[in-house]
Amino acid sequence: MAAGGEFVDGWVVAQVLGEGAYGEVRLLVHAASGASVALKAVRAGAGEAEAREAALHRALRHPHVLRCLGARRHGALHYLFLEFAQGGELFDRIEPDRGMPAPLARRLARQLLAGLRYLHARGVAHRDLKPENLLLDAHDRLKISDFGLATLFRVRARERLLARVCGTLPYAAPEVLTAPARPYRAPPADVWAAALVLLAMLAGELPWERAAADDARFAAWRAGDAAAGVWRKAGAALPLLRAALCADPARRASLDAVLAHRWLAADAPDAPADGHHWSSQPLPAGAGAACPALSAADMDAALSYSQPAHADDLLLTPADAPAAGARAPLVRRLTRVWLRCDARAALDALAAVLTAQRCAWRRLHPSIVAIECGGGLCMRAWALPVAARGGEARALLEFRRSRGCGLAFKRRYERLRDALLAAAPPAPPPPHAHALLAPLHALAPRAPDPMDTMGTSSDDLMN
Give ∠ CA 59-63-66 in degrees, rounded to 5.
55
Q: What is the DSSP string of 151-166?
A: EE-EETTEE--B---E
User: For residues 98 and 204, is the Cβ–Cβ distance under 8 A?
Assistant: yes
Q: Kind of pairing, strands 327-329 and 77-82? A: unpaired
Q: How far is CA 256 from CA 212, 243, 252, 260, in A?
A: 26, 12, 11, 6
Whether the Cβ atoms of residue 108 and residue 148 lie closer than 8 Å to each other: no
User: Is the sign of the CA dihedral 171, 401, 457, 218 positive or negative?
Assistant: negative
Rounded Cα distance, 1 and 271, in Å? 39
State how far the Cα of 140 lies from the Cα of 124, in Å rounded to an integer.
24
Catalytic position from the list 9, 92, 128, 342: 128
Ramachandran angles phi, psi of 450, nearest 5°: -65, -20
Could you tell me the strand order of the sheet in which 88-89 lies? 88-89, 134-136, 142-144
Is residue 127 within 8 Å of residue 149, measured between CB atoms? yes
Q: Please check whether residue 111 is in contact with residue 270, taking contact to mean a CB–CB distance below 8 angstroms.
A: yes
| String of DSSP letters for 69-117 | EEEEEETTEEEEEE---TTEEGGGGPBTTTB--HHHHHHHHHHHHHHHH
Cβ(367)–Cβ(384) below 8 Å: yes
Q: Distances from the Cα of 221 to the Cαs of 208, 215, 254, 422, in angstroms?
A: 9, 10, 20, 41
Q: Is 97 a catalytic residue?
A: no
**How many whole angstroms from its chain centre is CA 327?**
23
Q: Is 130 annotated as a binding residue?
A: no
Annotated binding site for ATP: 40
Catalytic residue ranges: 128
